[in-house]
Amino acid sequence: MRVPAAFSSAVRPVLTGPIQPAAWLGASAGAAYLMTGSSTVLAIVTHDAVRLPCALVLSTTAAELALSELAPAPGLRGDAPASVGAGRVEWPGRGGPVTVAGTREWAPARVLAQGPPRRAAVAALSSAVLQCDIGVGVGGAVSALALAGDPGAQFDAVAALLGRGPGLTPSGDDVVTGFLLGARAFGRAVPGAAAAVLELARDATSALSAQLLHDAVDGLCIPEVAAAVAELAGRIAPAHAGRRLLAVGHTSGAALAAGLVSAATCLHRPLAVGGAA
């Protein structure tokens, strides 16, 4: 079975590079995750799933073609590694070989520096976040992140959050991801946070989450975050981008939003290091 997919520019080097084996990290109806030997994580997602910056996007929905069915049976994934390279991802599927062919490239959403956020918008998102469950026991750590004024404190606050919470993308990581992206957008230098991610994430959390954190250091994100950031910064007219972010995943959207709010709310405090992140 050959399935065309649109691939993110972020995965082009790995996807179009030499063929290498990739291990299964997991698969649901809407997304399948693979990690290559070079520790790059690729996501294959359905058309209706969240567009991760490391994703190959299919034209079908989860209801039309469930990736959990396309992937090898869970018990067999260890013995059925995939291969990635030469423009495609291949594996022995349940009904014969599966080829996901990268036939088109798309540019993942990227957060650019866009100046300070509008207070009213931040307040609105902040109060909306308070209504949401952002995952177990990260509230205090989020406050610490918001209040961290120097690189050391940022490093410690991020270290305390990495890997906190259940699942493939723990809530603590989502908060850090949102924080990094918000800081970049609003012109807040967070060298300690970025250093903590680069130094600790690979060991502190799941491979997928670590990939998303590294992408966030580079400014890459899901489109919902980019839209929410633009809305906070007043770059686009308010159009419920914040609400759409909160709707992402079970707790991911709210945790990402909490991170954005953390990055936005402490801007009035003197920054330890000048310049944009």
Partner 1 sequence: MSVEQVEARSGAYADSVTLMQVSRRVLSADGVDAALVAMGTELNLDLLDGMGFTRPAAVTANDLIIAVRAQDDPALAAGLALVAEALAERPGPTGGSFTQQPPRTVSAAARTTGPALALISVPGQHAFTEAMDALDAGCDVMIFSDNVSVQQEIRLKDVAAQRGLLVLGPDCGTAVVGGVGLGFAHTLEPGPVGVVAASGTGAQQVLCLLDAAGIGITAALGVGGRDLSAAVAGRSTRAALAAFDDDPGTELVIVVSKPPADEVAADLRVHAGSLGTAVCFAMIGPGQPDLTAATEQALRALGAAVPTWPSWPGRQGSPRQGALRGLFAGGTLCDEAMVIAAERLGPIGSNIPLRPEWRIDANGAATGHVMIDFGDDELTAGRPHPMIDQTLRLERLAAEARDPATAVILLDVVLGHGAHRDPAAELAPAIAAVEDTTAVVVSLIGARADPQDLNAQAGALQTAGAHVFTSNAEAARFACDLIEVAR
Partner 2 sequence: MTDLLRRDVALITAGVDLFADAAEQQAARVTRVDWLPPMPGTQADLATVAADPRRVAANADAVRRVQSVRALLVDVVPAADALGLGPRDVLHAGPPIEWARASGPLRGALMGAAVFEGLVDDPDDAPALLERGEIHLDSCHHHSAVGPMAGVISPSMWVFVLEDPATGRRTYCSLNEGLGKVLRYGAYSAEVTDRLRWMSALLGPVLQAAVRGHDPVDVTAILAQMVQMGDEGHNRNRAGTLMLLRELAPAMIESGFSSDQVAQAARFVGGNDHFFLNLGMPACKLALDAARGIAGSTMVVAMARNGTDFGIQVSGTGDTWFTGPALVPDGLFLGDYGPQDANPDIGDSAITETAGLGGFAMAAAPAIVRFVGGTVADALANTRRMYEITLAEHETFAVPVLDFRGTPLGIDVTKVVRTGILPQINTGMAGKVAGTGQVGAGLVTPPAEIFPAALRALAAAAPGPG
Please give the structure tokens belonging to residue 276.
């944009």
Q: What is the dihedral of CA 194, 7, 75, 213, to 10 degrees?
A: 10
Q: Which is nearer to partner 1, 4 or 149 (CB)?
A: 4
Query: Given candidates 10, 25, 43, 57, which one binds partner 2 under the rule CB under 8 A?
Result: 57
Residues 6 or more apart in contact with residue 43 via CB below 8 angstroms: 31, 32, 33, 34, 52, 54, 55, 56, 208
In angstroms, the CA 118 to CA 120 distance is 6
6 contacts partner 2 (rule: CB under 8 A): yes
Residues within window 46-105 making contact with partner 1, judged by CB under 8 A: 103-105
Shortest Å distance, C-beta 139 to partner 2: 34
* Residue whose CB is less far from partner 1, 102 or 163: 102
Whichever of 100 and 257 has its CB closer to partner 2, that residue is 100
CB of 32 to partner 1, least distance (A): 22
Cβ 230 to partner 1, closest distance in Å? 9
**What does the block give as tokens for 151?**
């690189």
Q: For partner 2, give the closer residue by CB, 58 or 70.
A: 58
Minimum distance from residue 63 beta carbon to partner 1 (Å): 12
Binds 112, which of partner 1, partner 2, none (CB < 5 to 8 A, cut-off by type)? partner 1
Tokens of 61: 């929905």
Count of residues engaged in binding partner 1, rule: CB under 8 A? 9
- Rounded Cα distance, 72 and 95, in Å: 9
* 275 in Cβ contact with 191 (< 8 Å): no
In angstroms, what is the minimal distance from the CB of 6 to partner 1?
6
3-state class (DSSP) for residue 194: helix
6 interacts with partner 1 by CB under 8 A: yes
Q: Tokens representing 137?
A: 């026991």
Nearer residue to partner 1 within complex by CB, 110 or 202: 110
- The residue (of 56 and 193) whose beta carbon lies closer to partner 2 is 56
Q: How near is the Cβ of 15 to partner 1 at its closest, in Å?
A: 12
Amino acid at the residue 129: V
Per the listing, tokens 């012109």 go with: 187
What DSSP character marks residue 79?
Answer: G
> Is there binding between residue 247 and partner 1 (CB under 8 A)?
no
Which residues are CB-contacts of 149 (< 8 A; sequence separation ≥ 6)? 266, 269, 270, 271, 272
User: Binding partner 2 by CB under 8 A: which of 16, 20, 29, 47?
Assistant: 47
From the CB of residue 190, how many other CB atoms can be counted at a distance below 10 Å?
28
CB of 106 to partner 1, least distance (A): 5
- CA 155 from chain centre, in angstroms, equals 20
Task: Give me 256's structure tokens.
Answer: 């990402």
Q: What are phi and psi of 97, to 5 degrees?
A: -60, 140
User: Which position has the token pair 């903590």?
Assistant: 196
> In the window 74-113, what residues touch partner 2 (CB under 8 A)?
103-104
Residue selected from 11, 31, 45, 58 as contacting partner 2 according to rule CB under 8 A: 58
Name the site residues for partner 2 (rule: CB under 8 A). 4-6, 47, 57-59, 103-104
Interface residues with partner 1 (CB under 8 A)?
6, 9, 12, 103-107, 112
